[in-house]
């Protein structure tokens, strides 16, 4: 099976702009989780989508949002970019079982630089 | 809130030595503990995981142990090789609003010198 893919791989934006990142999960996986990775804060959970619904959310401001399509592909959007949003954004897919203790498989990430 | 502590932050060993990374979690309801390896420019890759009904799991040179009473779990790498050099993350699965999410440790940079 093909792994998790993310596009674009690199992105440069300026403060105040908005950005949309895309994630395609492993075929058959219905859950997509997003994480922000920075040197100072490590891997921080943003949100999780399952069957087009957000079912879990981390402690990030409302500028961070996401959605999931019927084919399980997911996008996340960051509006009004700030310098501190510069990070590696990772998505991870899993089958979506509720109580399974699920294995999450990560994509290569999108590196966002905000100038 | 939920928290996972990971130590050490950096670890340097000679090729052939063993390496041990330790993590502590706070939520006693955690039931799934994966370990990920992240190489430069790549996303984290699952290397081994353990569930709360098991005390130890081994896969070739890699083993993980879990002490539920103490809320500790550890990664053991034997006969280290230069290609083991990477950042390793532990994680614990936390049940939040009825659904699970992973909480990660802060990472351990492992350097294996030839």
Spatial separation of the C-alpha atoms in residues B45 and B93, rounded to whole Å? 16
Summarize the confidence of residues A26-51 as an average pLDDT.
92
- Asked if B43 lies within 8 A of A106 by C-beta distance, the reply is yes
- Asked if A56 lies within 8 A of B101 by C-beta distance, the reply is yes
What does the angle CA B101 – CA B55 – CA B22 come to, to the nearest 5 degrees?
Answer: 65
Summarize the confidence of residues A26-54 as an average pLDDT.
92
Euclidean distance between the first and final Cα of chain B, in Å?
41
Low-confidence residues of chain B: pLDDT under 50: none
Q: How confident is the model at residue A100 (pLDDT cuts 50, 70, 90)?
A: low
- For residues B57 and B47, the answer to whether their CB atoms sit within 8 Å is no
Residues 6+ apart with CB under 8 A from A27: A1, A2
pLDDT at A60: 95
pLDDT at B102: 87
pLDDT at A98: 62
Is pLDDT above 60 for A55?
yes
Summarize the confidence of residues A68-93 as an average pLDDT.
97
Q: What size, in residues, is chain B? A: 114
Q: What share of chain A is helix, strand, coil (3-state, %, to 5)?
A: 5, 50, 45
Half-sphere exposure of residue A78: CA atoms within 13 angstroms, side-chain side: 28
Q: Count Cβ atoms within 10 A of the Cβ of residue A27 and give its class: 0-12 exposed, 13-18 middle, 19 or more buried.
A: exposed
Spatial separation of the C-alpha atoms in residues A6 and B43, rounded to whole Å? 10
pLDDT at B78: 97
Mean confidence (pLDDT) of chain B: 93
Is pLDDT above 60 for A6?
yes
Residues 6+ apart with CB under 8 A from A90: A6, A34, A35, A36, A37, A43, A106, A107, A109, B43, B44
pLDDT at B39: 94
CA distance A104 to chain B (A): 8
What does the angle CA B68 – CA B98 – CA A32 come to, to the nearest 5 degrees?
Answer: 95
Q: How confident is the model at residue A99 (pLDDT cuts 50, 70, 90)?
A: low
- Asked if A43 lies within 8 A of B43 by C-beta distance, the reply is no
Is pLDDT above 60 for A81?
yes
Summarize the confidence of residues A72-90 as an average pLDDT.
97
**Which of residues 42 through 71 in chain A touch B, CB cutoff 8 A?**
42-43, 45, 48, 50, 55-56, 58
pLDDT at B62: 98
Cα–Cα distances in angstroms (integers) from residue B22 to residues A23, B34, B73, B100, in the given order: 32, 13, 6, 22
- For residues A17 and A82, the answer to whether their CB atoms sit within 8 Å is no
């Amino acid at each position: 099976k093909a792994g998790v893919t993310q596009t674009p791989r690199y992105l440069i934006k300026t403060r105040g702009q908005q950005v949309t990142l895309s994630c395609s999960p492993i075929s058959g996986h219905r859950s997509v989780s997003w994480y922000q990775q920075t040197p100072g804060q490590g891997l921080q959970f943003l949100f999780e989508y399952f069957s087009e619904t957000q079912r879990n959310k981390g402690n990030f401001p409302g500028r961070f949002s996401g959605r999931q399509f019927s084919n399980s592909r997911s996008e996340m959007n960051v509006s009004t970019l700030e310098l501190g949003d510069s990070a590696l954004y990772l998505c991870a897919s899993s089958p979506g079982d509720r109580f399974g203790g699920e294995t999450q498989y990560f994509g290569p990430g999108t590196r966002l630089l905000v100038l | 809130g939920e928290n996972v502590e990971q130590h050490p932050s950096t670890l340097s060993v000679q090729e052939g030595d063993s390496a041990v990374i330790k993590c502590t979690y706070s939520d006693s309801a955690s039931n799934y503990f994966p370990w990920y390896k992240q190489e430069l420019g790549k996303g984290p890759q699952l290397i081994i995981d353990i569930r709360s009904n098991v005390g130890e799991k081994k896969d070739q040179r890699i083993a993980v142990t879990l002490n539920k009473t103490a809320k500790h779990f550890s990664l053991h790498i034997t006969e280290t090789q230069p290609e083991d050099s990477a950042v390793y993350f532990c994680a614990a699965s936390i049940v939040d609003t009825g659904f699970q999410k992973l909480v990660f440790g802060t990472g351990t940079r492992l350097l294996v010198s030839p």
